[in-house]
Chain A
C-alpha cells in the first residue's frame, strides 16, 4: 500500500512538472510585447506547434472565405482550378509581408484565409480578392469619344429617370452642363461656383422625375479626360447601363467601351473628388500574362519624378508583342487596365522594344508595392468572391481578453470559497484538483499547438464549474455512505465506485456534444469545442484518480476517524 502511494505521488508530480514544462514556451512568448511576439513567430514558424495560439478574435485580424467562380472557366481548366487559385493567392499573401498568414482549401471551391494582426482590411481584400486581369487597351481619340457622348444624350431623350435633386441648386447643375468641353479655364470657374453654392451641407432634397436627363450634366473635364464627381459615379453608371444607351452605343460604337479610372482626382483649387471616365477599344491590344516581373519603384524623370510607380518587365514573347503594339499606336494613348479599371493612360511617343513599362498613378509607395505583388503573382484563373469575412480590431481583442480573464479569476474565486465552506477539507482538495485541471488542459493545448478563442476561454471557465461537479457527486456519495455508518476508508471507496458510473455517463454526453460541435463548427466555435473536449477528459481524470489518491494517502494509516467533508 505504501509503495503504490509513493508511486502515485511521484506520477502526479511528474505529470504536473511535465505540464508546466509544456507551458513554458507559451509563457515566454506572451510575456513579450506584440512586436517582439510577431518577430519571434516569423523567425520560428515551428513555434506555433508548441504554444497555445491565440484565435483571431483575441489577437485581432481578418478571416476570409473565398469561393471560386467556375462558371466561365473552360472545361480543361476546371480540374486544378482551386489549386492554381490557392498558389496565386498564397503568393499574394506572402508578398504582403504579413505575419503568420494561413490559407487552407475547403471542399472543391473554397479557400479559407486567416490573417492575424492585420491592420488594413481594405488593402488585404483588394490584394487577395482581385482577379488581377491586366490588359492594355488603346484609348479612342477625343472626337470619337465626344460623338459617343452625343449619341448617349440622344438616346436618353424621352427616358424617364428618377433622382434626388437638391432644391436650390437644381439650376446650377444645368449651368455646369453647358460649360463642358469649352476648355479647362472655364471649368475651373464653374466648378468653383458649384462649390460655393452647395456649401450648405444640409440642403433639402426631393425626388423628381426628369425626362431626358443628359449624361453631359454629370461630366466635366480635368486634364484631357472626362471626369465625374465621385458621388455621381453610381448615377452615371446607371445611365450608361440604361438599355436605350446600350443599344445606341452598340449601333455606332460597337467596338468600344467606357471604363472608369482607378484614382480619385481633384481639380485645381477645389476639394471635390472626381473619377475619370475613359473611352477605349473593347478588344485589348495585349494582356498581362506575359509579365515576367513587377516591382515598385520611383519615377526617375518626367514631370512626376519622385512619384511611386510600378515597373513591369515582360518576358521575350511579351516584349515582342509590346514592341508591335507600341509601334502601331504612336501618338495614341494606351490604357493600362487592371480588372476593368484604368490605372493610367500614357501617350505612346515611340516604339518600346525593351520589354519594360511603367504604371504610374497617384499611388503611395504602399499601393505601388501591393499592385506589384498582385501583378507578380499573376492573374487568378477565375474570379473569386468573398463569401464570408470577419475582421476583429486588435483593441476589441485585447478588451475581450481582459474581461474574460477577470471573469475567470472572480468566477474561480467564488467557486473556491463555496467549496471550502461547504465541503471543508475535501473542498480544498477539489480546489487543488481544479488548479491542476486548468494547468493540464492548457498544457495539452500547448502540446498540440491548439488555438484558444474567446468562446474557448468561456469553455475553460465552464469546465472549471463542471469539474467541480464531478467532485460534488463523489463527495455527496461519500457523505451518504458515512451516514450509513460505514468506516472512513470504506465510505471513500464506495463513494468513488458508485459515483464513477454517474460521472462517466454525465461527462460522456457532454463530450459527445462537444465533438459534434467540433465537426460542425468553425473558427471560434471550434476553439470552444476543443477546450471542452480536453477539459472534460482532464477533469474526468483528476476527479476519479487524483483526488482518490489523495484521500487514500491521508487515510491509509487508518488513524483518521472523521473526514473533513
Chain B
C-alpha cells in the first residue's frame, strides 16, 4: 500500500537555537528570547523549560528567577532569525523542491516514493545536513497528511529527541498504535483547532484527537464547518490539504509596534505613524503593489491607569498608490483627527489594504490621464526608486522623511540584543 509522505520539518526552539549558533558557550545552558519590547518570553531552550520557565509569561515577573538560575536572556534579533531561517529553507530546498515554507521555522516537504527504511534514512540525512550547514537543530515528523505530520512533529519533539525523526507512516497499518498516539494528543494541539474550538468541543466531551477523529462527518461539519471536516479527514489519513507552492497573495500590509514608554504627545505619536507608514510603503514597493485604503489606529494600554481610548480611522484614496509622501500625508492627518490629549497611548499602527499589482495601476491610469499627471507619476516613481536604492545600499533609514523624527523616544525597547552576525559587517562574530 503506497501512502503519501508529508514531512513537517520544524526547527527546535528556533529563536534560542539561532542565538546559540554563534555562542557555542550556550550549548547546554538555559536560554530564553523575549518578544518585542522585551515584554514576554517567546522562546525557551529545553534547559529553560526544565527549570520551569513559563512560555508567554511577562519578562519582568520572571526576571529575578532567570537571573538566579543563570538563564541567558535575549531580545528578539529578527535580522538574525530571518537570515538563519532563509538558510534553513534554502538548504531544505536542495533536498526536495516540492516544499512549502509554512512559517519562519517550519516547512512541509513531500517525500513520496521512498520505502520506510529509506525514508527514515533520508529524513535523518536532512536533519544532519541542516545542522551541519546552519547550526540549527530540527525535528521531522512524517505522516500521510499535513495535519498528521504536524502531530508527528509534535510527538517527535516530546519523545524522539535523540533521533529527531518520527515516522508515523511506519506504523500506519497498526490501528491500535495510531489510536494510542491520537489519544495522547490534545484536541487543541491539532493544526487548525484553536483554543476556542477546543473549549467548544470540550463541552461535548471531546478532548483528544482520537475522539474528534471518530465523530461522524455530519456532526463535525456542523460544529467546525467544512475546514474542521477537512482536518478530521486528514486525521484519518485522507489528504485534503495540498502543499501550497506559492505563498498566498498578500491582502494587507500592517506596520505597528507597542511603545517602549507610553506616548502622550501628539508629535511623538505622529512621528511613529510616519515612520511605520514609511516602512509599510517600502514593503509595498518591494512586492510591487499599490494600496487604495489607508488605516491608522491608536490605543491605550488596558494595564495602565487613566482613561482608555482606542480608535481606528480609514480613508480610501481615489487612485491606488505606493508613493510614500502621499501615504504619509494622509496617515499624519488621520492621526491628528483621532489623537486625544491627556491619554497614555501604548500602541499605534498603520494598515494598507486594497492591494493591487502596481502593473495594473500603470496600465489603467495611462489611458485616462493628462500628460502632466503622467509625468508627475513618473517623477514620483523615480524618486521612490532612488530612495529605495539608497536605503538598500547604505542601510535602512539613510534617507529619512523629516516627519519620522530624529530622536524617536517611542522606539522599541531591546536591552538584550545580540549582534546581527549575518547581516552587518560591523557585527560579525569574532574568532581568535
**A and B: interacting chains:** no
